[in-house]
């Protein structure tokens, strides 16, 4: 096996998503994922503790990017403006691989209760990271939590729109538009 070739992590994610979509999450083994990716099982375990973690492989990076964007937003930024800065920072790192994986990833998650639960936990983790970053800026907890939840929802909506379009646009405009649409929608709540 060609475990010394670069890109093993990306190949593992692609292989797992394909196998999960083709034969189901429960029927897919780590050995099958490693074989499809052209690596050994030990290489798999150097990158991921188990097969569940493949689908949330970028969560730590995504949380970090969202937090950095919020932290580095101008001090005069409103909570939603700071969230927008975080969304833009994170979205600018998403590329063709993320877009290519989206339909297969969606199908794999839809077919597995365990993966649906893991995906929900990912959203909770992202919201927690953004809430903490906003609180560190002095935003009161209820407002920070609401802004963070809107940020997660905007990211999901923007990502869904981005992956369903056939144009060459980047993800950031889609997430920022989704956040603006949500902000506008909140005015109808009062």
- Is the CB of residue 31 less than 8 Å from the CB of residue 51? no
Task: Give the whole-angstrom CA distance, residue 146 versus residue 167.
Answer: 32
Percent of the chain with pLDDT over 70: 96
State yes or no: pLDDT of 1 exceeds 60. no
- Is the CB of residue 53 less than 8 Å from the CB of residue 132? no
Any idea which architecture 8-54 has in CATH?
Answer: Orthogonal Bundle (1.10)
CA angle 95, 96, 101 (to 5 degrees): 110
Structure tokens at 48: 């991921």
Structure tokens at 57: 């492989």
Q: What is the DSSP string of 119-149?
A: HHHHHHHHHHHHHHHHHHTT--HHHHHHHHH
Phi/psi of residue 31, each to 5°?
-60, -40
Looking at residue 127, its pLDDT comes to 96
CATH match of 58-189 with 1.10.357.10? yes
Convert 82-116 to b/e letters by CB count within 10 Å (16 or more is b): bbbbbbbbbbeebeeebbebbebbbebbeebeebe
User: Distance between alpha carbon 63 and the CA centroid of its chain, in Å?
Assistant: 9
Task: Give the whole-angstrom CA distance, residue 37 versus residue 122.
Answer: 24
Q: Domain ranges for the chain, please list them.
A: 8-54, 58-189
Helix axes 59-72, 113-136, angle to 10 degrees: 20
- Is the CB of residue 81 less than 8 Å from the CB of residue 72? no
36-40, 62-66, 117-121, 164-168: which range is least confident on average? 164-168
User: Distance between alpha carbon 79 and the CA centroid of its chain, in Å?
Assistant: 21
Structure tokens at 114: 């365990």
pLDDT digits (tens, 9 = 90+) for 66-106: 999 999 999 999 999 999 999 999 999 888 878 888 888 88
């Amino acid at each position: 096996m060609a475990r010394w070739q670069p890109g093993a992590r990306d190949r593992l994610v692609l292989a797992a998503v394909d196998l999960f979509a083709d034969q189901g999450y429960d029927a897919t083994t780590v050995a099958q994922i490693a074989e499809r990716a052209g690596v050994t099982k030990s290489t798999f375990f150097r990158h991921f503790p188990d097969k569940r973690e493949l689908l949330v492989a970028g969560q730590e990076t995504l949380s970090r990017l969202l937090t950095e964007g919020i932290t580095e937003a101008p001090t005069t930024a409103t909570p939603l403006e700071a969230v927008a800065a975080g969304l833009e920072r994170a979205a600018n790192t998403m590329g063709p691989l993320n877009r290519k994986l989206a339909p297969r990833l969606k199908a794999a998650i839809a077919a597995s209760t365990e993966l649906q639960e893991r995906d929900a936990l990912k959203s909770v983790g992202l919201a927690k990271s953004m809430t903490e970053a906003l609180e560190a800026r002095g935003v009161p907890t209820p407002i920070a939590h609401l802004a963070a939840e809107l940020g997660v929802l905007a990211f999901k909506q923007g990502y869904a729109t981005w992956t369903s379009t056939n144009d060459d646009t980047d993800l950031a405009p889609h997430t920022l538009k989704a956040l603006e649409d949500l902000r506008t929608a909140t005015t109808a709540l009062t």
